[in-house]
Amino acid sequence: MNELYRYESRQRRTSMILLLNMIVLLVMYLAARTFLAPSEEREQLLYWLNIVTPVVEVCLLVLAIYLWIRNQTFRMVVTEEVFEVFDPLSRTFSFSVPVNEIIEIKQTHKRDFSSIMMQTTADDWIQITQNYHYNRTKLYAALAKANPDISLPKNAWRFKKV
């Protein structure tokens, strides 16, 4: 099979991002303690921050360790025959669809939620994850090459308001 597009991301990268988030959270916590003017509101905020911050830090650390050890691969592949996505974190976003069965891909934005949906000839709507840094322009170009009849968004980075 001739691959037209391939994107892979290991979970260790996500693990490193979680560790970075831990550092950012700690800096924000310390900034709140240092720079907020003394008041009753500050004391209430710090009371809750003293409870929530360690809990969130521990959760992020446990998840980072879990992903570091597991280290599975997110994979998105377009060949001349099939469009396949494997997401180790979510079975919902994992699928394999023949490209000749894809009718269109829609990018929509409603309030604070954006989605990318793919319609098939069986009238199924499959959501395409946005949680990874794959290049939608290259993905759509590969899908258009595999099946020129697919209706694709005019701009890979713009979402239609609904």
State pLDDT tens for residues 99-111: 999 999 999 999 8
Number of H helices, E strands in the chain: 3, 8
**Residue 104, pLDDT score:** 96
**Residue 1, pLDDT score:** 66
**Tokens read off for 150:** 């697919």
Q: What is the share, in percent, of the chain residues with pLDDT greater than 90?
A: 90
Nearest to 155 by CA among 141, 75, 125: 141
Confidence band (pLDDT; 50, 70, 90) for 92? confident
162: pLDDT strictly greater than 90: no
Average pLDDT of the residues of the chain: 95
Confidence band (pLDDT; 50, 70, 90) for 91? confident
2: pLDDT strictly greater than 70: yes
> Cα torsion at 128, 133, 139, 141 (round to 10°)?
130
Question: What DSSP element (H or E) covers 67?
Answer: helix 40-70
3-state secondary structure of 42: helix
CATH for 3-9+73-161, options being 3.40.50.2300, 3.40.190.290, 2.30.29.30, 3.40.50.10490: 2.30.29.30
**Residue 145, pLDDT score:** 96
Cα distances (angstroms) measured from residue 54 to each of 31, 49, 112 = 15, 8, 28
Structural Rg of the chain based on CA atoms: 21
